[in-house]
Structure 1
Amino acid sequence: MPIQIVGNSYSVGSAMSFFQAYSVRLVGFSVLALLLSYALKGDVFQSSFIDSLSFPELNTTSAEVLIIGGSHAGLSAALTLARHQIDVLILDSNAPRNKWKTPTHALPSWENRNPDDLRRASRKELQKTGFASFANTHITTITKPGANESMFVARDSQGGEWSGRKLLIAAGVEFVFPSIKGYEENFPDRILHCLFTRGLEYKGSRSAGLLAMGLAGSPHHSAMLVEDAQKFASTVTVYTNGDSKLGAEISATLLARGEENTVVDNRKIIQLLREPTGDSITIVFDDGGTVTESFLVHQPDTRVNPEIVSQLGLETNERNDIVTRMPFYQTNVAGIFAAGDCASPFKMIPNAIFQGSNAGAGIARELPRRITHNHIDRLADKETTWYG
């Protein structure tokens, strides 16, 4: 059947005897052991219990390296730098892109687990090194080195100030949702932004729809996403949201790839509705028509903190990602590196870890001993038992 074109659219009392106190302590230890067992098991309770533990911050406001962003890319970079005995300051606003806490996928040893638990484990590991300190803060301004300056200076809205010789931007990005009523309410459980990290959970679906807009608004990209979605849904329809010219181009591209049974719908979308059962999503068009799909595929546009980008004079591309040079992810500004979601179209944890590790290596190479004057056994200096 040929491709179809549809429309144009968390004290003991002082009087107690010794034995009473002992009993209370015993009960207390038992409760604590129970709580820890839940945490170690990865139960639902784990998040609220560990969230109540504060990460002790070292009494310092400067380090060799400032890392803006304490998620997977920043933590990976910090670990790489720790292995070169370089001090880092990690400044984190605790606002990851995945605020919905969707499970981690495509990451060996962490499949289907809470991504925040991975961040907690990484932070605890870094604290043992003695080379990493943390500040939970939202950085608003960063001053780059001038002719007579040797340090980057980061400041927050409360007057806090931190400095470092090198700077890694690993702050991630924020989604910019399209102006379609109901879109945000259905994201990300019915609108999937990545079928490699979410698709399998929707296997066997009756139908799927691709929103050919923004990053998916090119014939080649749309065709690839159609073929991805076909692995999990019986039928896939492309919705161009009123762009009939794009619809025709997507149709031609699909035909050239040998895809002859894809429907392209060019009607204008005015609203997305969650079905009462929660297992599907309905598209409402401007002509009054509706279509219900099991899920939709669409990657929203993203945005890096525009103030920081502007202050530092960082180059960005058409996707609003920071432009870097491989393999160490230097930016166009000397001394500044970028890694993770803010510097790649592949916004997933394995990629963020990879980029962070490489950026950490690149930064370490720019901090030889002639510059840092660091002792060759700083672990002994810090009396840490982290390694060995």
Structure 2
Amino acid sequence: MTFDAVIIGGSFAGLSAALMLARARREVLVIDGGLPRNRFAAHSHGVLGLDGIAGSELLRRAKVQLLDYPTVRWLSDTVDSASRTADGFAVHTTGGETWAARKLLLATGIRDELPALPGLAERWGHSVLHCPYCHGYEIGGGAIGLLGGHPMSSTMAGLLAEWGQVTLFAHGMTLDEEDAARLQRRGVTVERTQVVGLDGEAPQLSAAVLADGRRIDLRALFVTARQHMGSPLVEQLGCALDESPVGVLVRVDAQKQTTVPGVYAAGDATVVGNITLANAEGVRAGISLHHALVAEDSAVIP
């Protein structure tokens, strides 16, 4: 059997795309390895009508609803490789199966490379965070930190002042006079001594430990994780990548098609976003992919 589309990745973007195709009565296979990026967070916030519900629960509900459509099949597996064929693409899984598809949609997400700081990884998604719109309100104000050293750190520190009293840990970065003045106006404290560890009963955070032995009390620490592609398939298929302030992103056009004809991409691999944006990206990709299928089906064959 040849599916109209194989969607690799069954998180928010992949499920949203699959739903659009299912509602067009297209044959869809979703292959998912079961490791969504937001699995470290206990709750998801900022999702209209679903605020505060765990991301895992949102995905569970979405999957149940999606599989009510008779043209959708779900496979819990990991894709090892994908290649072009005369009729589309062949997808090969770790489980040893091969699936044929007219089109591919990569919703494979990204992998976060966390700063190498003792105590950070075990607090990721709980008291060490990356998105103030997702988690800032729940901190409830008070002392929060930002681990600097990133080109956007100064801008982020000023933004975070909306959610608490901010300490920007320079972490080796330098600030020009304009940045320093702007941060002062926002009430941001700049700490130039290196952070060497985090303290508190994990996954909670009580303080940042500095190289000179001081402790800076904190309720939460924000970091900017370096992003890498969540799957080697993107580069294996030859999709072009673009640099962003946080890492590489898949280059897509307005229809969410990559630089490789027939291969679409959506979600965190294409945009710096959140659940809502990933859903929207998936919807756009699913609709665009369907339009391409219809165009092929209605083309005049000489």
Q: Is the 8 A contact 2:80 2:94 kept in 1?
A: yes
CA distance, structure 2, for counterparts of residue 131 and residue 160 of structure 1: 19
CA distance, structure 2, for counterparts of residue 256 and residue 209 of structure 1: 17
Question: SS of the counterpart of 1:168?
Answer: strand
Q: Are 2:124 and 1:187 aligned?
A: yes
Unaligned runs of 5+ in 2: none
Deviation at 1:100? 2.2
State TM-score, norm by structure 2: 0.90
Q: Are 2:137 and 1:137 aligned?
A: no
Q: Is the 8 A contact 2:168 2:189 kept in 1?
A: yes
Paired residue type of 2:94:
S
State TM-score, norm by structure 1: 0.71
CA distance, structure 2, for counterparts of residue 338 and residue 196 of structure 1: 24
Question: 2:22 is matched with which residue?
Answer: 82
CA distance, structure 1, for counterparts of residue 295 and residue 205 of structure 2: 59
CA distance, structure 2, for counterparts of residue 352 and residue 278 of structure 1: 27
CA gap of 1:156–1:229, structure 2 versus 1, over 3 A, is: same
Question: 1:376 is matched with which residue?
Answer: none
Q: Are 2:77 and 1:152 aligned?
A: no
Q: Are 2:236 and 1:308 aligned?
A: no
CA distance, structure 2, for counterparts of residue 258 and residue 289 of structure 1: 22
Q: How does 1:186-335 map to 2 (within 5 A)?
A: 186-205=123-142, 207-213=143-149, 217-218=150-151, 221-233=152-164, 235-241=165-171, 243=172, 246-249=173-176, 252-256=178-182, 259=185, 261-273=187-199, 275-276=200-201, 280-318=205-243, 319-326=247-254, 328-335=255-262
| Alignment equivalent of 1:368, drawn from 261, 269, 294 | 294
Q: Which has the higher strand share?
A: 2
Unaligned runs of 5+ in 1: 1-60, 374-388
Question: 1:97 is matched with which residue?
Answer: 37
When the two chains are superposed, the root-mean-square deviation of aligned CA atoms in Å is: 2.2
Q: Is the 8 A contact 2:40 2:124 kept in 1?
A: no
- Number of residue pairs the alignment of both structures matches: 296
Q: Is the 8 A contact 1:181 1:270 kept in 2?
A: yes
| Alignment equivalent of 2:263, drawn from 331, 336, 347 | 336
Deviation at 1:338? 0.6
Deviation at 1:336? 0.7
Q: Is the radius of gyration larger for structure 1 or structure 2?
A: 1
Residue identity over aligned pairs, in percent, reads 25
Question: SS of the counterpart of 1:237?
Answer: strand
Q: Which has the higher helix share?
A: 1
Deviation at 1:65? 0.3
| Alignment equivalent of 2:11, drawn from 71, 89, 104 | 71
Paired residue type of 1:255:
A
CA gap of 1:186–1:305, structure 2 versus 1, over 3 A, is: closer
Question: SS of the counterpart of 1:99?
Answer: helix
Deviation at 1:277? 8.9
Paired residue type of 1:190:
S
Deviation at 1:223? 3.5
CA distance, structure 2, for counterparts of residue 169 and residue 186 of structure 1: 29
CA distance, structure 2, for counterparts of residue 265 and residue 170 of structure 1: 39
CA gap of 1:302–1:80, structure 2 versus 1, over 3 A, is: same
Question: SS of the counterpart of 1:247?
Answer: coil
Deviation at 1:117? 2.1
Q: Are 2:38 and 1:112 aligned?
A: no
